[in-house]
Structure formats: C-alpha cells, structure tokens
C-alpha cells in the first residue's frame, strides 16, 4: 500500500475598500488581497504491476488542481507497512 500526502493551498480573493482620498494619494494600477488556507489530504492506493506511477501522479495533481481550483499543490509519497 502506498500513501500520498498532498498539501493544498487555496487562495481566496478578498475585497479592498479604500476611500477616495487614499486612492488619490496612493495611485496604483491594480491591487489585490488574498486569504490563503492550507489543507492536507491523504490518498492511499495499492498499484497494480502495470501502473505507470509517474503518469498517475501527474493525473492526480491535475485532478486535485481542478477539484480545489488552485495551482499550489505539493506532495510527499510514503510507503505503508
């Protein structure tokens, strides 16, 4: 059995309410404020002999990126005894 731990960082855009005087005093072209949340999900699987694990790991990354709508995912692989 193998175990994959995925660390997922999700960003949420927050509104920035600046008064008109601040905007005039400090003109910026574009500004954004983000809140981030990090979660760890664990995926366990038992591969068959013919599984291409590199392609499977890439597939899992893409799937999780779409599911959680984030590009920031890291993973570690551990073997279970």
Where along the chain do its domains lie? Answer: 2-79
Predicted TM-score (pTM) of the model is 0.64
Q: pLDDT, tens digit, for every residue of 29-80? A: 788 888 888 888 888 999 999 999 889 988 998 898 888 888 777 777 665 5
* Token pair in block for residue 39: 């979660």
CA angle 11, 13, 17 (to 5 degrees): 150
* Token pair in block for residue 3: 């175990």
Please tell me what DSSP assigns to residue 48: -
| The residue to which tokens 């404020």 are assigned | 33
């Amino acid at each position: 059995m193998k175990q994959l731990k995925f660390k997922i960082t999700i960003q949420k855009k927050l509104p920035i309410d600046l008064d008109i005087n601040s905007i005039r005093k400090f003109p910026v072209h574009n500004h954004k404020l983000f809140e981030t949340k990090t979660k760890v999900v664990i995926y366990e699987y038992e591969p068959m002999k013919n599984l291409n694990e590199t392609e499977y790991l890439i597939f899992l990354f893409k799937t999780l990126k779409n599911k959680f709508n984030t590009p920031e995912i890291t993973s570690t692989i551990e073997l279970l005894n």
